[in-house]
Structure 1
């Protein structure tokens, strides 16, 4: 073996020297021995000169050079904080165990010692990274797909390196998964008492399944409960353990019908009564001090607001809703435009008592479905016919395109916010998909309640990181160091200690509205949303063209700008770039929609808040779904995605009642609930605005007949949509002017 490796090494040197391709003949993926031998040979032939230390380690491991690999790896791992390396620690224990004659026992013993020596929070993070978000299936699938797609008998160095790195991940996790799963789970049993057999009867006869987690060895003193109310059965135990490790009792209540509940699964519909009754049950337990706090993100944020629909339970002392969805507001529709991502979510949460990951992760099914729908042009309410499986919840959504009583009964409505008088900390992100939901609750509470004790924390986070802990980069944008706060483990529990135990308020909450200013490495703190700004930068759309851009003017003008969209054309799409991913890029599609560009900014400003629009136009249809995207064009000619709005013109005045447009008659359509952001815009930048009609495979297509959009089809698209914007159309950016 040593001789053959030496020969391969010499061949590798020759190949690397002349940049030649590497011979490659596929073996059966099911033949693990042949595959391992091939990957080892390929690793020896890999040039590691330009690889990172971590990638060199991976190649060395597959070569079988475990000692050399560990020397490389241990230098690198010292630079990484322990809570950021759950995967890396698996790599290290794997390589060390490979030096033993009994790999499984060696890995089990070393990983057991590692877990036992870790504190509560570290083990919880291991659970979240390795069990809750188990990566093994993805790694195996990714390697197999990459391998199967190789058609040539020669591959480049880049392909060889990629294949070896993917094989490393497949090998490491496949061979250790069962061991570290068991070690982590056994360690949980050592630290916590978990009662997962509780079923609470509701007043209407339904059932709710509850899990209680307490830290072993804690005192018998009555404790406050931290409640998570969730439809995501089986995913919140780590959060309850975190609560227990922080000195509280962790409680999880699952939506009726989930887990041990024998009731029918009804997402969204009964949290407005069920969560209140769960809080009441908690307050009567022998271990309870009659203080309950709630937190959670997305659906688990919605349930907190739902619990206060009718009244606030006396035991509920505070809530921390993060990235909270608001049914009928931002889910499943956004400004009354229904997106199709909720179609698969319904199966994910209702197919069984837990979660149907197989259905949720069947990306081929969902991509095929939305592409087939778009290509055929059938009505949106025929999606499940194309899919071949009835989607009851989806069909219910179809019946409620406006914000009607179906949605209103789920969460507080108007004056119902007035009675909510407990401390609240709302957390969201500039790139959170549910920011509109989070801000809807925040704004409605401030509108109807007198001087609410309601704080807002917002930064450059997305739907996931605004619930947990941001990483160094978000969608290719490197975050400022001041933005790297630990939301779940630090901020939330500082807040609970403040409200429940009379300790200091989190230091980051210096005022009611707290937001990180991107590209300044600072936070700003203001008493209200309106105080975020001291000026407005207003631009008017203009028909004047320079190069590929229409111009943004500082004053209203008499020009007109035409946009024509062929709604029956299914060879192309429009408005495909409205979603901010990545945040910064070299180019945008200058042929998609109307593109407007401002003059160069002569001084630095900060965009703080949500941009607004007042569009004046005439159209040959009775309705239109439109979007507005705002970019910063940096002095380096990079496009940075600042914010966007997408909505239905007929619901612009009122989400509850549809007001159709009059064809070919001038109309004014305004909006004020675009995505909130705070970012420094340096002088020399320009503002670029894209105005477009929404026609793609991610959402309904509004054909403009004035009928039910869900029932419209390509048959209604014979006449192209023609829209003419006037120079009275404006986009206003809320700014903080340093010189004012």
Structure 2
């Protein structure tokens, strides 16, 4: 009976402790000893019953229970795959060092041995994760900000747990960063000969800074070079080291003005001449076998195409552009709609010879800027006035709203694609922000070149994972196992071995167009983009309405669907669900735009490719920026974001020349370059289409006056926009039956 009473008493105490507030007396943050004691005490009284094994380890560390912590982390490491143990291994070395009499020396020796025992690729991944994506400063500021914002003398268990987890990260990384940074760099020097002090002249007198990496201990035979041409100075060394570890010479060329170059920094403008000259320099080096390949993503994908604008250098044997931006096509504007994210990027890459992470990560500044712009309604070209500093690149972009000669000089244009006759592997993703840039190059190459040796690989990846390695989930959607390929470390070098060494072609490239069908755990392989589909599912907009949904009909009809947008109203925004994040959700905003829903699908279908739009409407303005989002409404009632399109009506016929609309007169606007996707749509699913006008704080607002949209402001918003879509408007989905 006494034992039962004792058990009940302990349960009551435990329950009370979990529910009650914990005492909290704020210390001076700079007093590390007092802070450590406070966190130790807090970790001792904080409830840990529902913690994960890893979080329990963190609490054991903070409490100073290092032997228990070591046992916990060793068990966790045994259960974790090698590739996912980078942080866990770091934590293990940290705890082992804490158990020693000399923390720094013990950690240094342990980590040094750990690196020696790791293979090339493992160390490269340590570099990319721990150095290139170093989060130490964030961990420190995150803890400090959280601690500073606590004003109460008592805190909840949840608040305490959150604070302690942040303290763990702040403490571990701040005390080890300098050590593992140095040890990883020293390990690179042990394995590789790295020359990072090369500066070569361009024909016009400018300078380009170079890095060359060779694997030590290999034969002295001449080798092929893998070139990364990048504006992101200081971030591509791991890529060059990876190339060296794979048996090539790794080379980095930074945009003129970056790294050691004394030239002015000019993003985008000179790559079309500079990269060609860099390739020429490589081909003349003693270690070169006169074979050069290029690789890289985003800006580093653009530079590959830029190098071939005037002609293909004889030494350039292949390129692998991943998620490549196309200046004037998808950056800084998409279908002539200029987004404001490029505003902060300009400072990131031009503020110094390397990269200004402090400016780039100043999210408060950028959010304040775009919100202020939206609320005040000033012209888009006045953003830097609101920001209080001059943004030279931004002001340059403002002068070129159409695809004019400023943009055309940067990459191949029309017939200039015809001479590109080397093998190419283009890689992009269904949710890659630069997909339309990557596909622009692909489509233009096929339009102007005869039977190009050009392969395409595309899957459920975003801008980052399409150039590295996809994780198990993307924006809350669990990927098929078939999609989990290692692009950066395996596929790319299989391709290089195929082209440069005569080895077998990568097995996944079974045809010219290779794409992963979401929801089927399979890939499909077709000779052309058009071969991806064998049917079309066409829906027409209709005024028939049930609750919040208009109907999608199979045939044209006499409907008129009206929509009004008051650009003066800055309390609300439209088109806020345009960007696909997350991919699948329970609800969408049914009050944002015109929402149309189809009947249930009678059979399983695969949507393959880019959906087409043919909108017929009249407006009381001379122009409009519009968007179309396509969802799958699953039989379970969830909305899956399939694809989307945004464009400016006045450029729908030609991105180079603006053709204003005639107010109150019917017009037809067609588009075919929406985001490409491949996904199985199960029987019982419905198609939901959202047609909208763009009015939010992420991009220009087109007031419809016909003036330069960059110069329009809220004074041009006196008359609300009224738009009437007809039942001849249609959305067509490319289908594989």
State the TM-score, normalized to the length of structure 1: 0.97
The C-alpha deviation readout for 1:439-498, integer Å capped at 9, x for no partner, is 000000011111100000111111011111111111111111111111010000000000
- 1:480 matched to 2:454: no
Contact kept? 1:16, 1:47, Cα under 8 Å: no
Question: 1:157: Cα distance to partner?
Answer: 2.0
For structure 2, the residue ranges without an aligned partner over 5 or more in a row are 1-9
Correspondence 1:703-718 to 2 at 5 A? 703-718=703-718
Counterparts in 2 of 1:12 and 1:177: CA distance versus 1, 3 Å? farther
Contact kept? 1:256, 1:264, Cα under 8 Å: yes
Question: 1: CA distance between counterparts of 2:643 and 2:143?
Answer: 36
Question: 2: CA distance between counterparts of 1:610 and 1:29?
Answer: 54
Question: 2: CA distance between counterparts of 1:146 and 1:132?
Answer: 25
Q: Which residue number in structure 2 is paired with residue 226 of structure 1?
A: 226
Question: 2: CA distance between counterparts of 1:271 and 1:404?
Answer: 18
Contact kept? 2:322, 2:438, Cα under 8 Å: yes
CA RMSD of aligned residues (A): 1.3
Question: 1:42: Cα distance to partner?
Answer: 1.7
Question: 2: CA distance between counterparts of 1:149 and 1:578?
Answer: 34
Question: 1:601: Cα distance to partner?
Answer: 1.1
Q: Which residue number in structure 2 is paired with residue 258 of structure 1?
A: 258
Contact kept? 2:541, 2:552, Cα under 8 Å: yes
Contact kept? 1:425, 1:454, Cα under 8 Å: yes
Q: Which residue number in structure 1 is paired with residue 5 of structure 2?
A: none
Q: Which residue number in structure 2 is paired with residue 664 of structure 1?
A: 664
Q: Which residue number in structure 1 is paired with residue 44 of structure 2?
A: 44
Question: 1:588: Cα distance to partner?
Answer: 0.8
Question: 1:15: Cα distance to partner?
Answer: 5.4
Contact kept? 1:12, 1:47, Cα under 8 Å: no
Question: 1:17: Cα distance to partner?
Answer: 5.7
Question: 1:19: Cα distance to partner?
Answer: 2.3
Contact kept? 1:574, 1:692, Cα under 8 Å: yes
Q: Which residue number in structure 2 is paired with residue 307 of structure 1?
A: 307
Counterparts in 2 of 1:12 and 1:211: CA distance versus 1, 3 Å? farther
Contact kept? 2:18, 2:157, Cα under 8 Å: no
Question: 1:538: Cα distance to partner?
Answer: 0.8
Question: 2: CA distance between counterparts of 1:347 and 1:579?
Answer: 24
Contact kept? 1:15, 1:22, Cα under 8 Å: no
User: In structure 1, the residue corresponding to 2:467 is in which secondary structure?
Assistant: coil
Q: Which residue number in structure 2 is paired with residue 454 of structure 1?
A: 454
Q: Which residue number in structure 2 is paired with residue 521 of structure 1?
A: 521
Contact kept? 2:567, 2:695, Cα under 8 Å: yes
Q: Which residue number in structure 2 is paired with residue 172 of structure 1?
A: 172
Question: 1: CA distance between counterparts of 2:22 and 2:683?
Answer: 50
Contact kept? 1:12, 1:46, Cα under 8 Å: no
Q: Which residue number in structure 1 is paired with residue 609 of structure 2?
A: 609
Question: 1: CA distance between counterparts of 2:669 and 2:49?
Answer: 59
For structure 1, the residue ranges without an aligned partner over 5 or more in a row are 1-9
Contact kept? 1:11, 1:45, Cα under 8 Å: no
Counterparts in 2 of 1:15 and 1:143: CA distance versus 1, 3 Å? farther
Contact kept? 1:337, 1:625, Cα under 8 Å: yes
Runs of 4+ in 1 over 4 A off after TM superposition: 10-13, 15-18
- 1:66 matched to 2:79: no
Contact kept? 2:140, 2:170, Cα under 8 Å: yes
User: In structure 2, the residue corresponding to 1:558 is in which secondary structure?
Assistant: coil
User: In structure 2, the residue corresponding to 1:355 is in which secondary structure?
Assistant: coil
Question: 1:149: Cα distance to partner?
Answer: 2.6
Q: Which residue number in structure 2 is paired with residue 112 of structure 1?
A: 112
Contact kept? 1:15, 1:21, Cα under 8 Å: no
Q: Which residue number in structure 1 is paired with residue 330 of structure 2?
A: 330
Question: 1:704: Cα distance to partner?
Answer: 0.2
Question: 2: CA distance between counterparts of 1:227 and 1:190?
Answer: 22
The C-alpha deviation readout for 1:680-701, integer Å capped at 9, x for no partner, is 1111111111111100111000
Q: Which residue number in structure 1 is paired with residue 4 of structure 2?
A: none
Question: 1:73: Cα distance to partner?
Answer: 2.1
Residues 78-87 or 200-209, more deviating? 78-87
Question: 1:153: Cα distance to partner?
Answer: 2.6
Matched length: 728
Question: 1: CA distance between counterparts of 2:659 and 2:70?
Answer: 67
State the TM-score, normalized to the length of structure 2: 0.97
Counterparts in 2 of 1:577 and 1:416: CA distance versus 1, 3 Å? same
